[in-house]
Structure 1
């Protein structure tokens, strides 16, 4: 028998942020690490390209601000969702309190990244 009044779930929101964070972390973060952590220090990309003025201009542009916010916030949502469900898999049933703590921490990091970007 089909339930005519199904209970609404908030899981699609968390799974959406989980998927976006995982995709960002898998596709964008390695390129960022390659450029900033390997190519610039090795001199393959000119250090002048990463001067303070150029990086500050990038960070204060709308595209740069969104990039930095997404780089900080999306992987955090992914990690906290994985942590929340990983605890359940390990038979640590934190319930609603664990869910609130995990997602609050991800929301806090997201909010702080937005605040710090707008302070630049």
Structure 2
């Protein structure tokens, strides 16, 4: 058996890592966010004062709040664009490096915009 002593490095672990992080965030954090912000708060189950503009703005401008918002916007986008990239291959649309660049550029753009958005608050 011949072992290749100089294997070609792959960038796939980076994309799979972001895919996994985004999928985990989307599966575990997003449903709770939707429950709290989209169902419990509008129904009045959560006190309206707890969701006042001032409290939400204070949370969004805190370090943990900024990370939460960036994670909520960026990580699922990496997950989605990785799925799109590999889904195109499954559909026999072999876009090659161009498709990969476009997909991951969109995810990077959304990530950068989320960071810019946080710093503008």
User: Which TM-score bucket, shorter chain as reference?
Assistant: over 0.9
Q: Following TM superposition, by how much is the alpha carbon of 1:5 offset from its aligned partner in structure 2, in angstroms?
A: 0.5
Partners of 1:7 and 1:59 lie apart in 2 by: 43
Q: Following TM superposition, by how much is the alpha carbon of 1:51 offset from its aligned partner in structure 2, in angstroms?
A: 0.6
Query: Post-superposition, which runs of at least 4 consecutive aligned residues in structure 1 deviate over 4 A?
Result: none
Q: Deviations over 1:49-97 (max 9, x none)?
A: 1111000000000000000000000000000000000000000000000
Identify unmatched segments of 5+ residues in structure 1: none
Q: Following TM superposition, by how much is the alpha carbon of 1:48 offset from its aligned partner in structure 2, in angstroms?
A: 1.2
Partner of 1:30: 31
Partners of 2:98 and 2:120 lie apart in 1 by: 32
Partners of 2:113 and 2:20 lie apart in 1 by: 21
Identify unmatched segments of 5+ residues in structure 2: none
TM-score, length basis structure 1:
0.99
Partners of 2:3 and 2:90 lie apart in 1 by: 29
Partners of 1:19 and 1:2 lie apart in 2 by: 30
